[in-house]
Amino acid sequence: MKAYIRSLPSSAIDLAFGITYGITLLLALFPPLYLAASGSRTSVLGMPFSLSYWILDALLIGLALWAKYAVEDVRGELDEVLDVAATEGSHR
C-alpha cells in the first residue's frame, strides 16, 4: 500500500483531498442542508439528528486531516525538521 501511495502523483492526492474537504465544508456551510437535517425528529444514539449532523461532519473533517497527514508521512513530505537560526546577540 505504501508503494502505491508513493507512486501517486501529487495532483491526484491533492484532488482527492480537495474534493473531500469541499464536501465536508459544503455540509458545514450550506444552510439548506443543515435546515433539512434540523427538521428531522429522528434520534441517533439518543441525540437529535441535527446534533449528530454536526458531530458527523466534524468527524469527517478530522479523519480527512488525519488521512492527509498519514499520506504525507508515507510520501516523506512532512516538514518535521526545524532549522533553528543561530543569532549572535540573542543568548539567554
The domains of the chain are located at 2-6+17-75
* DSSP string of the chain, one letter each residue: -HHHHHHS-HHHHHHHHHHHHHHHHHHHH-HHHHHHHHT---EETTEEHHHHHHHHHHHHHHHHHHHHHHHHHHHT----PPPPPP-TT---
Which pLDDT tens digit goes with each residue over 35-44?
776 777 778 8
- Across 12-16, 48-52, 88-92, the highest mean pLDDT is recorded for 12-16
| Residue 88, pLDDT above cutoff 60 | no
